[in-house]
Every structure is written in C-alpha cells, then in structure tokens.
Structure 1
Amino acid sequence: MHAIEDLAGFAADHPRGALPVAVRDAIRDLVTDLLGAAAAGLHTPLATAARGAAPALHGPGPCGVWFTGMGLSVAGAAMANAAAASALDIDDGHRGAAGHPGAGVIPAALAVGQALGSDDAAILDAIALGYDVALRVGASRPTGSFDTYASGRWVGYGVAVAAGRLLELDAGAMAHAMAIAGAEGPISFATGSSAYQGSTVKEAIPPAVVAGLTGAFRARAGATGPLDLLDRDDRFARVRLTGGLGADWALLHCYLKPYACCRYMHAAVDAIAALRQPGRPVVSLAIETFPQGLRLSNARRPATLEAGQYSYYFSCALAALHGVTALQPVDPAWLHDADVLALAERITLSAHADFADAFPVGTPCRVIVDHGDGPRALTVHHPLGDVANPMSRAQITDKFRRIAAANVPAARRDAVLAALDGLTADGFAPLLAALKHDTTDTMTQQGGTTDALLV
C-alpha cells in the first residue's frame, strides 16, 4: 500500500468525535493563536492584496473573511484568511516539519465547515487530522533533502485532508485528494535561490491552501492523482509518515510564537530580553546560532516587513533597543528607524559548533552583549512557546489582545476571546458570528488602520 493510502485511510476512517481531550484543548489554543496572528496581519500588504484579489478570482460566497464582514467562496475566504494569518510570521509552527501548519489547515477547515454547515465535532476532527497529516509529511523529509523550508510545500496535504474529512470522502477519494494537492501545489524557490524572503510570496501558504482545497473537491468529483507521491525513501521516511497513527497527535508538538519574526531567532530575542539594560548604550552585540540561521536573507536594512522577519540583524537590533514588545507585532515605521538600522549594521552573526546539529529539532542561540561594563553571554535552547517552554492559556490570550489591538477594537476582541474560551463546549457558531463583524469602520473612528479595498 502506498504511504498516501495509509494516511488517507487513517484520515477518512478515524472514529468521529473520538479526539482526546488534550487534542481538543490544543485545537482551542491553536485557533486562538492563529486568529490573533490573522488580526495582527489584517492590513499588511500581503493580506490586503489577497483580499483584493480574492473576489475576482474566487467569487462571493457564504464563508467569512475574518474581522471584515466580507463573504467569499470557500477558496477565496480560506486563501484570504491564510494570507492574513501568515503575513507577520507570528503563526504556529512545528520543529520537525520546520514550518507552519495552522495558517493553512485552520482557514481551510473553517471555510469548508461554514460552507457545508458542518457540526462542531466534524470541524474539530478535520483540524486535528489536517494538522496530523500535514506535519507528518513535513517532518518525514530527511533534513539533508530539504531544498526549501517553505511550508507551502507540505501544508496542502493537510488542507486536502481537512477538506476531505468535511466532504466525507472515503479512503480512496481521500488518497487522491492528497495526491492531487501534493502534485499540483506551489513549487516555491529553494532557500537562498531568490529574494522571496523579502516579498509577499513568503511561505507560499495561501496557494497551498487553494491547491489542497482543489484536491479535495476534485477528488470528490472523480479526479485522480499520483498515489506514489510519498513513496521515495530518500525524500520521505516512511516511519515518520505513518508510524503511530492516532497514538501521537502531531499538533500536540507545535510551538507558538510570541514575536513577529522567524522562529530561528526567537532564542536570540529571549536572550536579549534577559540581558537587556534599558537606557544604556549597546556597545556590541554578537549572536551565535545554528548554521541554517545564516541561510536566511538577513538584510541589515530590510525594505519590507517580510524582509525584516527573516533578518537576525534587524529583529535583534529592534529587541535590544526597544524591547520585545516592538516585535508584537512590528510597526513598519521601525524599518526606517536610524538607531535600529545603525545597531543592525554593527551586530555580528555567526554559526557556532555548539549548535551544528541542533536544527530542526532545536533553534538555539547564544547572545553576547556589552552595555559598557564588559560582555555578558546567555544561551537559550528553548525559547518561549517551544514544547519544552510552552505558553500558558493566559499568555496565549494576552498575545491575542496585544497583537490584535491595532486592528480590532477591545469589545470585539473580548467577544472573540469569549467564543474561543467556550469553543470546546459551545462549538464554532459563536466564534464565526464574532469573526463576521466588520471592524474597519470602528477602527477608523478610533484612529486605527483602514483598508480601502473593504469600503
């Protein structure tokens, strides 16, 4: 049997509503975290362009574009919401897969569930199974075989599973849904081969969402895909793909991100926060990291938020001068701040032998900073949000309130969080109702950002 068929059989036939309590609670936290990321990214160029293109490309429909009042088709809403959720690089991730599952799986599951009127148990199952399959595919790739860490390469498999589960595909059709999504998903450029880290292409998650949805709906209509797609042992380790299905849920091993920058540098940011002496000059700042960290674009003077998210120099200079709140999320004005850019020019960044084999299981960093009284060093192996250093429910909701504040008024944030707190008991209907409210006019009156494409 092909690996895709094993995964499809598990995804299609897993008993309905039989998720462990820990998995259901984790879904509540992951949805909370992702909606915060989407609210924070709502008016970024990436998200604004996606919303502007979606009606013409995908047409109107019953599925909500979160926090806007817009109704689009399944693909349009899922793509637009995925763009907002992934825009600021503050969405959930997974060490083994080296990428971000939630920004693909959750928008797809909620859009399909809303369009079909799926019940709560079905949506929860779809999210859990979508995460599991996506992360198994991503984590099964031997590290040396990666030509890109872009999440769009593998998250479409999970989107196809989430949609297929809600469409009630049988195991055979589910396998073809995954195969179509995998064969026709975005290619994305190899890491270091392009300037894509400074553009709105980024992780290629929105097109992977469209590809995954397309795979599920086409499979329901009878289309077929290459079922041997995951059968290459040099590219996909079978034991990671299919071992322990249903016994160890991959979403329980996701990390959350308190800062709007690539996860590679979160350990450095935590170390800077611990060593920082506000008000004192930074005489020198050195960062020692794992070799893959040097493969980021690492622009000292990033021109866009996306470029800043992939720069140790910029993100760490910002944290050193203005604290971690400046990364929750990043105000585009910091891209032009003379002091931040001057420090970014002086930071030294190197790979250290201590961390040579850390990635992707870990992303440790050592920071050496001198505030004028001699160098002080700190090594962080598990930054805040890692499975070994998790964020509490209170920290997750606090993150939501903080990063959504610029785009969503306080009363609306409270309504969304109340619905999220009751998600496992009350279901998705209160949440979808809270997300439907258009915050644009309210935020304009309060002096917040507006979006001409929504008027």
Structure 2
Amino acid sequence: MVDSWLRPALTDPSEAALEIMRLSLVDWLACGIAGVSEPVAQITRSLALEEGGTAQATLFGGGHVPCRAAALVNGATSHALDYDDTHFAHIGHPSVAVIPAALAIAQSQGAGFDAFLRACLAGCEASIRFGVLLGRGHYQVGFHQTGTAGAFGATVAACQLLGLSEFQMAQALGLVSTRASGLKSQFGTMGKPYNAGIAASNGVEAALLTARGFESNPMALAGQNGFLPTHHCDGEEAAPEGWFMEDISHKFHACCHGLHAALEALEGLKPFDPKRVRKVQVATHPRWMTVCNQLTPTTGLGAKFSYRTVIALSILGYDTAALGTYDDALMADARVVALRNLVEVADDATLSETEARVSVTTKTEHHASFDLTAPLDIAQRRQKIRRKAHSLVGDDRIWLAVEQGDFPNLISLM
C-alpha cells in the first residue's frame, strides 16, 4: 500500500510541478532569511554552532555544521514566521521539513541545482502523499503532519540525493517511522517550528544511517505495530494519480493558513469605517477551531493563530502580510482589544477546509465568502511570490538565484 502511494513521487515530474517547486524554494528561502532573528532560530543555531562538528552544510544566518544539525536549524528557522507554503490535502507545510534535509545532503554530496530541486520535489510530493495516507484522523487527534508526514518526505529527498536504491529507501522509511513526531499542542510556541526542524533532521539521520548499512524493519510503516496502525491513521488505501505539489498553497498573510480565507473574504467587504462596526461573524470549517482560534492571545506569535485578532487588525488597517504587525505590544492596544471582542467565530461543517464566510454589521449587514482553492494562475503566483520575497528580504537576489539555478549564490544568500 505504501509503495503505491509513494511511487508517483519518484517518477519524472511534470513541468508544472517543477515550476511550483521553484516558487516554493524562493518562498522557503525568503521565509528562512527573514526568520533568522526569531528566538527559535537564534536558540537552535547557537546550540548547533556550540556543538560544532564537521562543516558540511550552511545555516541560515551563517556558519557551517554537520548535516543533521543544519537540517534541524534551517527547518525551525524557515518555519519560525509560519509564513511558508501549505498543502491542505494533509494540513501540513512540506517545504520546511523537506528542503532543509535536501539542502544539507546536497551540499555534503556536492550535488548541482537540478538534482537538488528534483529531490526537493520528490520529498515534498512524498510528504503530502504520506499526509493524505495518514488521513484526517491522524491530524485531528493531535499530530502535527509537518513533523510526522514531513519526516517521511525529508527521508525520500535525502535518500534520492544519496543515490540509495529502492530497497535502501524502504529501509530508511522504516527507520524514520520510529522517529517521526510532532504535536499540535506546540502551536503558538517555539515548539511548532521545532517540529519542522525535527522532521528535517530525522530524515537526514535515517538516510545517512541507511547509507552506512543500518537495517530496520521495512514493514514498520504499515505492518503490525507500525506507524500507520498506531497513529490514528484513516486515509484512503487507493493512491491518486498526478502531482499534489501542483496544488500547493502559498501564504500571502503572515499568519496561520487557516486564517487566510477569512482575511480574503474580509478584503472583499472593504472599505468601511472601523468605528461603525457593531459585530463581525466568522464561519469556518470545524477543523480550524482547534488550530487557529485562540481567543485572547497576548503575544504576536499567538495572534497568528487567532481569528478574532487578525480580523480586528485587518479592519483597523494593519497589514496582515507584514511581519511587524504581529507585535506583542499591539496585542494589548485598546483599539485592537475592543474590536477583537466584537468578533464571533463559529464552525460550519458545510464549509470546506479552505473556505470561510465573514459577515460585518455596521448600519447594515455585509457578507462575503472566499475559498483558497480558487484558481490562481502561474503568472499571478509568480508575481505574488516575487513580491513577497522582495518584501521579506529587500531585494530580488533570491528570485534571480533560483531562476538562474545558481546553487552557490543561493547558498551564499543564506
């Protein structure tokens, strides 16, 4: 069963999937470079540099450390802002778990840009496919798919760059199944981006051990007492065709992706005077109620998981795409608190996970809805991601390095 789900990720990719992977690479780099000053990035980086070891791979913010440590730090750093790509088929963030693992192994092996990009795509596709296989029950019970499914994707990318056989990859996936971890209880803390780093590091470790002859149970995924039967998995057994990566979603608001549909719906109702707002009602899929419905966050990080707060910020004219908006002090601002208290959030099982409905009451009621799966053509996506990267790092150097396939320059920008 697992083999049929994974195999499509190891075939020759479509041009559309490769193009989306390039855009996700730009997005990942920009998020990582912009995230280097975040506490989780500083703490993990200082630990890696303090421990030292063979200089195999580059860290965001500078420095070279062993592959496992680099994957851990770069995974946590790139997810620190919670601004990276998402795939709703498994409610996870593929790039932050897979690209750090691929980058570390690619550097250590002297791989070129094309091999690196293709390994990233194979790993991200595998991560999403494992996430769909794990199913909604796995996520709903409390597992963070970025950490769990992401570890399998990171392993696939690392194995491909190491040139391991299918048998060896099966061994590595069996091995990482005993390491894959990550809990939703960490949301709103440094533990959430740490989950991404753990996934990346676990994938690197499993692949490197396997390359050295380490043996594991290749049935540790689906066999008796394996990962699937012990981790509340309820996914479909029939593997779908095509490339899931073609449907990846990129963030254009600097907060949890579960909030974006509501923010986009609200944009469709503007402009209106915040002083005239009497009530705001948000309807969302029930799944998001335990993910991003913090009622009274006191930190900027917590605000990134709060419908009431981001809706209040948006109505007051704050740019929800700007990193500086999610400031601890702003969470205590009287205007923000007062407007936040006018926002009501309710679940609606008739909505999909990518939809939201917003109603704003002033003198009259105004209604709008939005679905994140609404078509966004490749030209629009390229424009939005280039603008986002420029906003995060201040220039187009990341965009140009990826467009030109300039791997050494790409690494130097970190």
TM-score, shorter chain, exceeding 0.5: yes
Q: Quote the residue 1:420 is aligned against.
A: 402
Partner Cα separation in structure 1 for residue 66 and residue 97 of structure 2: 16
With over 3 angstroms needed to count, the CA separation of the structure-2 counterparts of 1:22 and 1:140, relative to structure 1, is same
User: Does the aligned pair in 2 maintain the 1:112–1:163 contact within 8 Å?
Assistant: yes
| One-letter amino acid of the structure 2 residue matched with residue 400 of structure 1 | A
| One-letter amino acid of the structure 2 residue matched with residue 368 of structure 1 | S
Partner Cα separation in structure 2 for residue 89 and residue 4 of structure 1: 30
1:93 counterpart SS class: coil
Among 284, 287, 297, the alignment partner of 2:282 is 287
1:326 counterpart SS class: coil
Q: Quote the residue 1:441 is aligned against.
A: none
* 2:390 aligned with 1:392: no
Deviations 1:177-221 (A, max 9, x none): 1111121122x33x5xx4x22211115111111111111011111
Q: Quote the residue 2:312 is aligned against.
A: 317
Q: Quote the residue 1:224 is aligned against.
A: 215
Aligned-pair CA distance for 1:21: 2.3
1:140 counterpart SS class: helix
| One-letter amino acid of the structure 1 residue matched with residue 343 of structure 2 | I
1:77 counterpart SS class: helix
With over 3 angstroms needed to count, the CA separation of the structure-2 counterparts of 1:48 and 1:342, relative to structure 1, is farther
* 2:196 aligned with 1:202: no
* 2:97 aligned with 1:110: no
User: Does the aligned pair in 1 maintain the 2:258–2:292 contact within 8 Å?
Assistant: no
Structure 2 gaps of 5+ residues are 223-227
Cα RMSD after superposing both structures:
2.4
Q: Quote the residue 1:429 is aligned against.
A: 408
Among 88, 92, 96, the alignment partner of 1:99 is 92
Aligned residues: 399
Partner Cα separation in structure 1 for residue 359 and residue 6 of structure 2: 49
User: Does the aligned pair in 2 maintain the 1:368–1:377 contact within 8 Å?
Assistant: yes
* 2:346 aligned with 1:334: no
Partner Cα separation in structure 2 for residue 5 and residue 349 of structure 1: 41
User: Does the aligned pair in 2 maintain the 1:313–1:344 contact within 8 Å?
Assistant: yes
Aligned-pair CA distance for 1:5: 4.8
Among 152, 160, 174, the alignment partner of 1:157 is 152
Structure 1 gaps of 5+ residues are 437-455
* Identical columns (%): 26
Partner Cα separation in structure 2 for residue 7 and residue 57 of structure 1: 38
* 2:14 aligned with 1:24: no
Partner Cα separation in structure 1 for residue 356 and residue 254 of structure 2: 17
Q: Quote the residue 1:257 is aligned against.
A: 251
| One-letter amino acid of the structure 2 residue matched with residue 213 of structure 1 | V
Deviations 1:342-385 (A, max 9, x none): 22222111112432xx23xxx21111112x33120111123xxx
Partner Cα separation in structure 2 for residue 143 and residue 353 of structure 1: 15
Among 401, 416, 426, the alignment partner of 2:390 is 401
Aligned-pair CA distance for 1:301: 2.8
Partner Cα separation in structure 2 for residue 55 and residue 377 of structure 1: 52
Partner Cα separation in structure 2 for residue 11 and residue 374 of structure 1: 51
Deviations 1:290-326 (A, max 9, x none): 1112213633331333322211111221112124x23
Q: Quote the residue 2:371 is aligned against.
A: 381
After TM superposition, the structure 1 stretch with the greater mean CA deviation from structure 2, 106-115 or 345-354, is 345-354
| One-letter amino acid of the structure 1 residue matched with residue 409 of structure 2 | P
Aligned-pair CA distance for 1:43: 1.2
| One-letter amino acid of the structure 1 residue matched with residue 190 of structure 2 | T
User: Does the aligned pair in 2 maintain the 1:88–1:305 contact within 8 Å?
Assistant: no
| One-letter amino acid of the structure 1 residue matched with residue 117 of structure 2 | L
TM-score where L is the length of structure 2: 0.89
